[in-house]
Amino acid sequence: MADVGADVSAPKKARIGFEQDVGITEYVGTHKGFNGILKQRYSDFLVNEIDPSGRVVRLETLEPPPEPEPDTGWAGGNVSAEDKEQLELLAGGKRTEPVVLPAAGLSKEQRGQLHAWVRAHWPHLESHTADGTVRVSRSTAQRRRAAPWPSGRPSYTTFVLYKENMDTIEAVNRIATFLGMRPSFLGYAGTKDKRAKTCQRVSCHRLPAKKLLELNRRQGIRVGNITFEDRAIKLGDLQGNRFAIVLRDVDGTTEDHEEAVRSLSENGFLNYYGTQRFGTTAVATHQIGRALLRGNYEEAVDLVLQPRDGDAGALAECRDEWMKSKDAARALSKLPHRGCIEGLLLRALTKGGATNYLGALLALPRNVRLLYLHGYQSYVWNRLVSRRVQRFGFAVLPGDLLITPGASEDEPRVAGPEEVGSASMQAVVLPLPGHSIRYPQNEVADWYKEILAEDGLTLESFGGEQRHRYVHPEHF
């Protein structure tokens, strides 16, 4: 595969060093590599999530889904057009006096239907019966209520998030701040690149579509394709991602380029967890995950808050203050926007005690904490793949775990001696380290324990899952 820099500002040698630090060392192809600039512009890198059904996720509409008509009996059809117009003015703040609807002669059931009709169409209005009328006025802030969730509608609002030059965690924090909720209320399958244009699915419990679409006034974020589902989106709920990539200032010859493309198309690539999984700064996610798994919570907090090369502005001042004084309140005061990871940690330390490091880490969204732990699992997996290639190349070994097309990802089978020459290396899977997962029945299983022992950890530290070590790109 081509050897390209990750960013025009990142020296080639430094980037290669980072790749080696996270276990990325081997190649499938033996052809001559070439250099180029990746992500010189964020529009050079397009990412579309592929959902569990295999559909490529795209932002196609900013319109809300059709709303079902509320079942309010005869009520809506028996309110005059003039009264409806006055109710609209009242709801929009252009009228302050209550609207009085005639209710003389109505049964108790009919009055109830009239109240329900008002609530369904104008959630911020309230109504009550008085002297043979129904009086409708604006709700006070204390009494204002959300619109009732339609009966029979699935409980999770799912939407497509399109973002530019912003990482997923920052985008989710912005959405949560706008909606007045915790970032952990929003579910997503994984983080997408910052320096890119990306589309991915996000879910939230019973989030009204109209409120969500108000986000489209914000810069750098668009939401749409709203649907309603029975379950939340969780980390890993995707088949993969589709990429469209521009390389600039490419060196080498046309023959070099064609040979690299041919190798990628015919031979595929090692399915390493890429550098995006480990972050783009000097402190990688797997280092924070390792500290968490060891129970070194103070170290984990320091790793999140320590200064990084390339920091600027308020965030740089915040990190510098923390490392100088370890005063959470003073460091927090440097941040104008406190919805970022650093702000959440420092705010929790300010409120919960200067040494309550575990409490501060628990204040982070669950998805963020999981990303740190998954980062460490990914680091171990990358090292195992590299060691496997260095030791045995691409051969299928007796005792390898195989998942063939159409088989369940949760039920790999063990390769027998008779399959060594016939099984495809694309069927070989290696598990992420964990205690509740099946391991190869050969010496590779011992490598897990050896690598974890280097960090003072065991397989009991976390769960696991299977992952193909070698893949072919699709639609290439």
Quickly tell me which residue has 């049964």 as its tokens.
Answer: 107
Q: What pLDDT score was predicted for residue 7?
A: 39
By the 10 Å C-beta count (0-12 exposed, 13-18 middle, 19+ buried), 23 is classed as buried
Q: What pLDDT score was predicted for residue 281?
A: 67
Residues 6 or more apart whose CB falls under 8 angstroms from that of 461 comprise 293, 433, 435, 452
Domains of the chain are 1-38+246-268 (no CATH), 49-66+156-240 (3.30.70.3160), 75-138 (no CATH), 285-367 (1.10.1510), 394-471 (3.30.2340.10)
Of 167, 193, 256, 446, which is the active-site residue?
193
Quickly tell me which residue has 């749409």 as its tokens.
Answer: 224
Most distant CA atoms of the chain, gap in Å: 89
pLDDT tens for the chain, residues 1 to 476? 333 333 333 445 455 578 999 999 999 988 888 999 999 999 999 999 999 999 999 999 999 998 766 555 555 667 888 988 998 899 888 898 999 998 888 888 888 888 888 887 787 788 989 888 999 998 875 455 556 788 788 999 999 999 999 989 889 989 998 999 988 899 999 989 889 999 999 999 999 998 899 999 877 899 999 999 999 999 889 999 999 999 999 999 999 999 999 999 988 899 999 887 887 666 899 999 999 999 999 999 999 999 987 778 898 999 999 999 999 999 999 998 777 889 999 999 999 888 999 999 999 988 889 989 999 999 999 999 999 999 999 889 999 999 877 666 667 899 998 888 788 888 899 998 988 789 999 999 999 999 999 999 998 877 666 777 656 677 66
- From CA 404, how far away is CA 169, in angstroms rounded? 35
Q: What pLDDT score was predicted for residue 142?
A: 46
Q: How far is CA 299 from CA 63, 93, 339, 355, in A?
A: 46, 53, 22, 12
Amino acid at 465: E
Q: What pLDDT score was predicted for residue 77?
A: 60
Q: What is the pTM of this model?
A: 0.74
- From CA 185, how far away is CA 201, in angstroms rounded? 14
Q: What pLDDT score was predicted for residue 252?
A: 92
Cβ–Cβ under 8 Å, residues 102 and 79? no
Q: How does strand 197-205 pair with strand 186-188?
A: antiparallel
Specify whether 193 is catalytic: yes
Strands, DSSP E only, in 30-75? Answer: 37-38, 45-50
| Beta pairing partners, 159 | 202
Nearest CA-CA partner of 111 in 130, 83, 124? 130
- From CA 106, how far away is CA 332, in angstroms rounded? 60
- From CA 301, how far away is CA 291, in angstroms rounded? 9
